[in-house]
Amino acid sequence: MAQSKDFQKRVYPLPVYNFQVTLGGTAMSFVEVSGIAVEYETVTYRHGLSFAEGEQIQSFHFDSFVPVTLRRGTILGSEPLALHSWLQQRDLRSLEVSLCDEAGLPQISWRIAKALPVRLDAPCFDAGASEVSIERLELRARGVSLVEH
């Protein structure tokens, strides 16, 4: 028996290929986004009776910057110097990566309050290859939150 579309939306995971990126309020196309994470530091506490009672562990949330990588094709019609300009300006911007449904509507988003570019890699130049030009932007991101639409 075939399952309804609504049932599939509730039960099956969303495909990762259908996402959109908004950088400082501007929608941009990227082929890959990786490294978005929230980390908690832990401390293991050992006291005099740890051998009998066991150790204790504490978790602390230090809002530190984590590395995030974005890859994008070099397209002349979509401001090819935008990422380079941002790198030169050295300002913090907000970033949102939204996972979309089949209609392109955001379903869940990872919002980053502060993102700072630290490295922009040019594409690999190889006269014997027929690959597309992909540039890589490395960010440091802080203030990651998850939002359901």
pLDDT in tens, 57-91: 777 777 788 999 999 988 887 677 888 999 999 99
Work out the mean pLDDT of the chain and round it to a whole number.
Answer: 88
Q: Which residues of 19-40 are buried (b: 16+ CB within 10 A; e: fewer)?
A: bbbbbeeeebebeebeebeeee
Kindly report, residue by residue over 8-57, the tens digit of the pLDDT: 778 888 889 999 999 988 899 899 999 999 887 878 777 777 777 777 77
Query: How far apart, in whole angstroms, are the C-alpha atoms of residue 89 and residue 63?
Result: 24
pTM of the model as a whole: 0.81
Q: Token pair for residue 122? A: 């040019």
DSSP structural state of residue 78: S
